[in-house]
Structure 1
Amino acid sequence: MLIGASKARSGNYRIILQLGKKELRLLVLRHRQADLPEVVVNDSSEVSQTNTSEILEHFNQSYDKLGLKHAPVTLVLGLGYYQTIAVDRPDVPEQDIAASLAFQLGDLTDLAPENMVTDYYELAYQPSGQNKVMAVAGNKQELSDWVQAIVDAGWEPEIITISELELRKLHPHSARARLCVYPLERGYLVQIYHQGKLCFSRALSGQAAITDYSKEEIELGALEPLATELQRSMDYYESQLRQAPVKEIMVAISHAQLDSVCGALSDLLAVSVERFNYEDWMNELCEGDFSDLAAFAAAKQEPSTADEAGADKEQDA
């Protein structure tokens, strides 16, 4: 549990709930005049199928003095709570695409159409000749239970989003493509960004954890399986999406020998590999192991057009 020193009782709070299959994370943010909020609470609790309401009630009691009643809530779903599938763009008006996807996904997921909540997003680039969208399907009853639990806690559900889309906001708008590796509850998530947009997203659910590798094991090639998967991702971005090669990798993985990890991956992939760093406003109350990145990302506003233009000029310089 991490609690900030703020004594403010303005009631001007916002809540981020980052939902994983094993853990629910709570961020409480206080709005400021600046674009970046003040982080007041960063807490987490184990999740089971039967304790949805109990977790939120525990949080409510723990931080009762903050006066969180009616606070708006953003619920960030981890990969275990939704499925993402690339499908041909439905031949319907844009405003009807999300609703039409349930029937298109009937044979592609383990959910019946009537039990789905569906939406979609689009990646920045597509392979030649394709016109696809990334369909997102969640369990309607499961999500309804969480929304009801939020309401029962006296909070106000405002947004349901997914971690894959939120993480993009942690990276600057840049003319150079960047690949980032994040931890999942099982495996890793690989994403590639360019010009402030998500271009590629892939979960390495079968990838063995590297957190316990010693420096000696790393030097002897223990990271080769991970490097192979990263190379495949970069090859797809370059050849199938017809983009310039990725020259920068960020590693958001907690490891006692992170410098050795970055060095070994750089040698194996022949690209610059650096550790991901929390932004200054996150540092006081961050976990430090990157398990809370999706929640912090959801707390950020989308960069303005002016900010993006400025970042591009800095990059070009």
Structure 2
Amino acid sequence: MKNGFLNKLTFWRQNIPVGELGLYVAADSIYVFKSNVGGTAEQRADLATEPQSKFPIEGVSYKIAFDGDNWTEAFTAIFDGHGAAKLQIVLGESFYQLIAADKPNVPAEELKQALLWSVKDLVSEPVSNIQLDYFESSLTASGKINVVVANKQQLSNLAQVSEEKGFVIAGISIEELAMTTIFQDDLSHMIVSHVSGQELLLTVVKQGELLMQRRVRGFTQIDKASAQDLEFGLADNLSLEIQRSMDYFESQLRQAPVGSIDLLIGGEYQALVPLVSQNFNQNVNAIQHDSVSSHFSMMSYSLLAGSLLTGGKA
């Protein structure tokens, strides 16, 4: 879904950006990441192909207050700090819906329109205000396709403010696809991530591809849990959900077991690692971060270094 949201919203591209930023748009904040490394993202494309030792990317992340609608105020603050820039944006969970739908048997040029009518009763947006894109996994045995649905008016407002400020939007992505930037080796990795107040996200990535994704309820406050809470049940509950996802990956998708389990969770995540580890043969690791949301802005920036998104060609 590279640039899929933006195919009809390219009127701002007349300006020449002077910098590159990664943005993560959360429910109440926008997190901005700027690399300390010189050169353009294209000149640093090796960041997307080198082993994990290249990560995290050196840089600074900070947040700007955002109420979900005040794009002008937020983007003015970004412009005041950086000037015109090329932006890669990752939307937080509250700004889109991701649906696994049956892939319609239609020509490629008719796929998006067919998907619109396939998912219209499964989403909260009216048909007239749906911005839709899709992506597929190489594991296509199920005949499913992943459909991303967002608010068209909201994205149009974002695009208009970007034009006014002289920004160029390189792409808009989602949390699930941002995970593809973390590992670039030959192993499959189960990444368990959690943004404060959101549902838990479990993904499997391999060689820059998203192979599986699943949202799990019941863990919205896991970053607020004490080490004692984790020890007395919460870690075991999390392990059960990880095992369910691994069972699906192995039995339904017919894949080999994942090579590692990696936690991108706030709070007492260091205490969580040994508690989860005792339930699995795989190595369980903590992904180091200042905050999960700021880490998402870094992952957003890293998407500028290569064409890591797959999906619909609208």
Q: TM-score range by the shorter chain?
A: 0.7 to 0.9
1:122 Cα deviation from its structure 2 partner: 0.7
Distance 2:307 2:125 in 1: 35
Superposed CA deviations along residues 56-99 of structure 1, whole A, max 9, x for unmatched, are 112222x1xx4x23x22222211211111111112222243234
Count of residues paired in the alignment: 277
Q: 2:61–2:298: 8 Å Cα contact kept in structure 1?
A: no
For each residue in 1:169-203, what CA deviation from the matched residue of structure 2 results, as whole angstroms up to 9, or x when unmatched?
111231x3210111224132111123432111112
Match of residue 95, structure 2, among 76, 81, 93: 81
Q: Which runs of 5+ in 1 are unaligned?
A: 1-9, 279-287, 305-317
The aligned counterpart of 1:272 is: 283
Q: TM-score w.r.t. structure 1 length?
A: 0.78
Find the aligned partners of 2:278 and 2:121 in 1 and give their Cα distance. 43
Give the drift of 1:49: 4.0
Counterpart-to-counterpart distance in 2, 1:58 and 1:289: 21
Structure 1 vs Structure 2 CA RMSD = 2.6
Aligned to 1:302: 306
> Matched residues in 2 for 1:23 and 1:46: separation?
5
The residue number in structure 2 matching 1:147 is: 159
State the one-letter code of the partner of 1:86: A
Separation of aligned partners in 1, 2:294 and 2:172: 17
Does the 8 Å CA contact 1:169/1:302 hold for their aligned counterparts?
no
**Separation of aligned partners in 2, 1:195 and 1:26:** 26
Would you say 1:237 and 2:249 are equivalent positions? yes
Instruction: Work out the CA distance in 2 between the residues paired with 1:18 and 1:89.
Output: 29
* Separation in 1, partners of 2:67, 2:225: 30
Moved more, 218-227 or 136-145: 218-227
- Specify which structure has the bigger relative contact order, considering alpha-carbon pairs within 8 angstroms and separated by 6 or more residues: 2
1:229-288: CA deviations, max 9, x gaps?
Answer: 1111111101111111224101112234x333111101123432111146xxxxxxxxx1
Moved more, 72-81 or 134-143: 72-81
The aligned counterpart of 1:31 is 39
**Contact 2:139-2:253 within 8 A present in 1 as well:** yes
Assess if the C-alpha contact under 8 Å between 1:106 and 1:113 holds in 2.
yes
SS in 2 for 1:133: strand
**TM-score, normalisation: structure 2:** 0.79
> How much identity, in percent, do the aligned residues show?
26
Q: Is the 8 A contact 1:76 1:298 kept in 2?
A: yes
Q: Could you list the runs of 5+ residues in structure 2 that have no partner in the other structure?
A: 1-15, 49-56, 309-314
* Larger Cα-atom Rg: 1
* Structure 2 equivalent of residue 58 of structure 1: 77
Q: Structure 1's 60 and 271: CA in aligned 2 closer, same or farther, altered over 3 A?
A: same
Maintained 8 Å contact 1:187/1:208: yes
- 2:26 corresponds in structure 1 to 20
Instruction: Report the 3-state secondary structure (helix = DSSP H, G, I; strand = E; otherwise coil) of the residue aligned with 1:222.
Output: helix
Q: Does residue 122 of structure 2 align to residue 118 of structure 1?
A: no
